[in-house]
Structures are given as C-alpha cells and as structure tokens.
Structure 1
Amino acid sequence: MIGHLPLDEQLAALKSTLSRNEVLLEVLNRMAVLELPGWYLTAGCLFQTVWNVATDRPSTSGIRDYDVLYFDDHDLSWEAEDAVIKTAAETFAELPADVEVRNEARVHLWYKQKFGVACAPFTSTEAAIDNFAATTCCLGVRLERDGQWRVYAPHGLSDVFNLVVRPNPVLAPREVYEIKTARWLRQWPELTVLDWPSESAAPAPASS
C-alpha cells in the first residue's frame, strides 16, 4: 500500500494521483500565474482526489470546491481580499468547478463569529493549514515558478493514502470535525474515521 511506502515514494505517488484530476491541475496552473503570496491549493480537493483514485471512483467525484489559501498581512481589509477574490473569479470563470480563494491573514477577524472560538492571528498559510479540523486535511500543494511541486504535509501522507481521518483538536470545535466526517463517510464509506478525543486526552495548548 502507498501509505506504507517511504516518504519520497509517497510524494511521487501523490503527484501522480493528483494529476489524474484535470480540474485540479488546471487550478494549480492558473494559480501559479496569479502568484499570490504564500498560496496553496489545499484540503478537500487534494485528499478527496486521492480517496477517489484509491476507491476506483472518478477523480472529481464528491469534490465540492477547490480551496486556495494565500497569506497577505499588509492589508487586512475586506476590500483588499475581495479584489483578489474577484480577480480569481475571472481567472477560473470557464472552469467547471467552484474555486474559493481566501486570505488566511484575515481569519482571526471572523473565525469566532463563525465557529464560536477565538483564533489567534496566523503567521503564514502553513500555520493556517496546521489548524484544520483533521490532520488528514492538513495538506497543501502549489506550483513554484520553475514548475516544481511544493507540498506541505505537516502530518505526513500515510493517513491520506490509507483512507484514515484523524482529528486535529487544536482550534476547530469538535462539531466541525463531526459534521465534516459524517458527510465524507456518506460519500466514501471506505474511510476509517477516528473519534474526537475526550477533554482529558486532548493535547494541551502550546505555551507562548
């Protein structure tokens, strides 16, 4: 199984697997032209493409959207982010998929209102990815100027290839994890979804 291969072979397998999703490749290529600071194509469209290929489904099956994150803390206004969103909308206008582009430097401004818990300002796109509700979601890919793939996977790739969903109780509430995993199980019943840890088992917040 790919999830038991050495990391360099898993990285090669990830690129090969994701390349079977033509929409995903088009998003990567078009985003590379936009050159947003610290951008990554991330989360669902990546690991769900892997799940689809692993379970012999069409590569785009069940993928709701393609999330692109970037990090620009020079202007935290909604107007600045909205200008980027509108430019991206024009870039992807003819693509048969919803592409959502968001500035992770602004997340702390709206996170508590949406999810009920406070979020400290992120310092990078990678830091934002670190806080996704499941470690399996903590995955980002982008194309560099030289055409090379840059992969950010702080928890590795084994769970992704092994169809294991593991909670990441560092920011997102338990409810977010359980809503997401319930939907994923309906689409990919082959998944192994691990339970959210009890309070006593949850890791303590990192000290400053």
Structure 2
Amino acid sequence: MPAIKIHDIGRLNRERLGDPYLSSEDERFETIRTIIAETPSLMAILTSIRDLELPDSWLVSGGIYQTVWNALTDRPASHGIKDYDIIYFDGSDLSFEAEDIVIRQVEAKLPSLAGQLETRNQARVHLWYEKRFGQPYAPLSCSMEALTNYAAKTHAVAARLRHDGKLDIHAPFGLSNIFAMRIVPNYTLDNSKTHAEKGKRMQANWQELNVMSWQRP
C-alpha cells in the first residue's frame, strides 16, 4: 500500500479504518504516523520534548486523536483542540517546583503554543489526583501506565519522536475507536463524570462522534 498523505485521508473510508475486521492495526498505525508527521504543530511539540531529553516523555491524548478526526473530516488540523498533553516520568524529584521547571522549559521551547500546553510528571500524579477528582490514584511506574487510567479507551494514545526521526505510537486499547470516531468508556477508574463532560464538549466540535454512555457491562 503506498504511503498515505494527509490530503488523501478524506477519501479513506473511516468506517473501514474503524472496523478491526475490515482493516489492519498496522494500517491504522501507519495512517496515524502519516497524519502526525504532516502536522507541523505536533511535530514541533514532539521535536521539542525529544530535544529536552525529558525522561519517558510523550505527547498523548486529544492533540493526537482530535488531529486524526480533523484529517478524517476535512477540518483544519487545530480545529477543536483545547490543549496538548505532554507527559513524562521522573521519580527522582516529586516536588511541584521540579515539575514547574519542566513546564517552563517546554513552554519556552514552544512559545506559540505555550498557552495550550499541559505538561505533567506522571510520577507525582498520585499526590494530587484524589484532592482534585475525589478518588485515590495508585502511584505509576512509567508514563505509559497512565494511559490505562484515562476516562475513555479512545483517549489512550501516545506518540514520541526518536532521534532517528521515526515515530513511536502507543495505544493500549488499539486505534480502531479513534478512526471510528467513537468514544468508548474505560472502567479502570470511576471517571463517569469526566467521560460525560468531555463527550459533550467534543460532540459540539465533531458532530460525527458517537459517544457511548457510561454503562458497565
């Protein structure tokens, strides 16, 4: 299959890409790499966090899957994107002060996007999560472990840029829901409120979305 260019994405059948029986996961991974590689804002973020050499650092969640939705629906690349989530894992210093230094370093690297960047050390999430969301959060052992706790399986996607220019993509629940434009609950934590709030906001920007209700099987 020839390389897919972002201007060709609209002609691809998102129902096919979103169906694990009609298309392969390899095809979805290659498509998402192409979309990221041809989106300057995402590549600027990925290049910056790579060059800063933040430990176990990734661009995750909405900045990726919402860019895919925009490519699939022929919208501008930044349409509806509220922020870009950057995560890293540094257990050597769990203070807010240390995290704040990293936040400022990232923003200094990306001044045009500084107001949209959310940079968080995943090694210290358990220190503030319960106070903010009302439930305990177990300490994590690495950045990618955080993806399994996101409110929707659809949110769980991450990318990083290697020094050789290749893109690593991580998606613990697969990519079919992203390409199907379907938000599927993740029951690891009781994130029903977050799931509903995000689903409502996203449907206002992408009317094609199917937001599945929070109902445990």
Per the normalisation by structure 1, the TM-score is 0.91
Aligned partner of 1:84 among 77, 102, 112: 102
Q: Residues 110-121 of structure 1 correspond to what in structure 2 (within 5 A)?
A: 110-121=128-139
**Quick one: distance in 1 between partners of 2:72 and 2:57?**
27
Residue in structure 2 matched with residue 132 of structure 1 by the alignment: 150
Offset of residue 96 of structure 1 = 7.2
Change (3 A) 1:89 1:53: same
| Contact 1:21 1:60 (C-alpha < 8 Å) held by counterparts | no
Give the percent of matched residue pairs that are identical in Structure 1 and Structure 2: 39
Residue in structure 2 matched with residue 173 of structure 1 by the alignment: 191
Amino acid at match of 2:101: A
Amino acid at match of 1:119: Y
Residue in structure 2 matched with residue 161 of structure 1 by the alignment: 179
Aligned partner of 1:21 among 30, 34, 39: 39
| Contact 2:107 2:113 (C-alpha < 8 Å) held by counterparts | no
**Quick one: distance in 2 between partners of 1:34 and 1:84?**
9
Residue in structure 2 matched with residue 151 of structure 1 by the alignment: 169
**Partner deviation per Cα, 1:146-169 (whole Å, 9 max, x = no partner):** 221111100111111111110001
Residue in structure 2 matched with residue 2 of structure 1 by the alignment: 17
Amino acid at match of 2:44: E
Residue in structure 2 matched with residue 59 of structure 1 by the alignment: 77
| Contact 1:36 1:70 (C-alpha < 8 Å) held by counterparts | yes
**Quick one: distance in 1 between partners of 2:38 and 2:78?**
9
Offset of residue 172 of structure 1 = 4.5
**Quick one: distance in 1 between partners of 2:215 and 2:161?**
35
- Give the match's secondary structure for 2:111: coil
Amino acid at match of 2:17: I
**Quick one: distance in 1 between partners of 2:37 and 2:17?**
16
Residue in structure 2 matched with residue 206 of structure 1 by the alignment: none
Amino acid at match of 1:145: H
* RMSD of equivalent CA atoms: 1.3
My pick for the range that moved more, 12-21 or 47-56, is 12-21
**Quick one: distance in 2 between partners of 1:191 and 1:13?**
19
Aligned partner of 2:215 among 197, 204, 208: 197
**Quick one: distance in 1 between partners of 2:98 and 2:114?**
26
**Quick one: distance in 2 between partners of 1:53 and 1:172?**
31
Change (3 A) 1:126 1:57: same
Residue in structure 2 matched with residue 71 of structure 1 by the alignment: 89
**Partner deviation per Cα, 1:30-70 (whole Å, 9 max, x = no partner):** 11101111111000010000111111111110101111000
Offset of residue 173 of structure 1 = 2.2
Change (3 A) 1:19 1:175: same
- Give the match's secondary structure for 2:59: strand
Aligned residues: 199
Query: Which structure 2 segments of 5+ residues have no match?
Result: 1-15
Change (3 A) 1:156 1:112: same
Q: Which consecutive segments of 4 or more residues in structure 1 shift more than 3 A? A: 94-97
Name the structure where helix makes up a greater proportion of residues.
2
- Give the match's secondary structure for 1:111: helix
